[in-house]
Amino acid sequence: MIPLHDSIPRVHKPYMLYAIITACSVIFLFEKSLPISQLTEFFYVYGVVPARFTNPTWAASMHFPPDAEYVFITHLFIHGGWIHIIFNMWFLWIFGDNIEDVMGPLRFLLFYLTCGVVAIFINMLFNPTSTAPVVGASGAVAGIMGAYFLLYPHAKVLTLIPIVIIPFFFYLPAVFFLLLWVGIQVVLGIAALSGHASNSVAWWAHIGGFISGVLLLPLFRKKNRCYYCKVPEGTPPVRPEIITPKPDTIQNPKE
C-alpha cells in the first residue's frame, strides 16, 4: 500500500522538509561509502541499541561510549538500505509538506524530532533487552502521519496496491488509509512480540510515533496557518488567498 499523492494543496514552500530529506540522503550516501565493518560500527554507535541503556554492564563490556543521549536524534537520520530510506522519505514527502504548512519550518522540525524521540522510547519499552541497533526516520514520519490524520481526514490519497504483479490504483480517504496503516502496524507489532512476525522492523516505533503525532499536534500547530484543515462546525477556515500563495503552488500541490 503505497501513497502516490494526496489531494491537499500546500501553500508555503516546505523548506524544512527539503532540509530533512537532504540530510537523510547525504548521510545515507556517506553510509554507502563505508566498508561493512565500519558501517556496522556506525549503526551501533549512532543508532539506538536498547540494551545499551537498560543493561549498563553489557554496554560497558561492548565498549560503548558513555553519555550517548545524542543517539535518540542521530538514529532518525540513518537508514539501513535503499528500500528503507526510499519508503521513509517518500511517506514524509507525501504527508509532511501539509504539516509544515500548519506549523512553520522550526515548529515542524521540533515536532518531527519530538515524535521520533517518543517513538523510539515506546519501542524500547517493548524491546528493552534488544542488542540490535534501531535506525531510521519511520517513528518521526509516523508522527507526521498522526498529525495528518487529525488535520486532513477529508483528504483523498491516490494509493498503489500491488496484487501479485498487477498494480491497482485507488483514491482512498486519508482517514481510511491512515487507520489501515496504523492497524497493520499494531497487528504486526503484537505478532512480533509472540514471534510470529519479523523483529527486524520497529513496529512499536511506528505505533508510538503515530500516537505521539496525534497527541502533540495541539502544541505545535498554528491556527492561523491551517488553510485546508478540517475545522469544527461554525469555525471559519483560514483563506489561503490572504497570504497570496504562488498560483503554481496551488495548481500543482506536489512538485
> What top-level class would CATH report for the domain 2-245?
mainly alpha
pLDDT band at 166 (very low <50, low <70, confident <90, very high): confident
Cross-sheet strand order for the sheet of 2-6: 2-6, 156-163, 166-173
Work out the angle at residue 50's Cα, subtended by the Cα atoms of residues 46 and 53, and round it to the nearest 5 degrees: 90
Q: What is the pLDDT of residues 82-127, one digit of tens each?
A: 999 999 999 999 999 999 999 999 999 999 999 999 999 999 999 9
The residues with which 167 forms a beta bridge, in sequence order, are 162
pLDDT for res 201: 84
> Which of 59, 52, 136 lies closest to 92, judged by CA?
136
* Cα–Cα distance measured from residue 56 to residue 247, given in angstroms and rounded to the nearest whole number: 57
Contacts of 217 (CB under 8 A, 6+ apart): 111, 146, 147, 150, 151
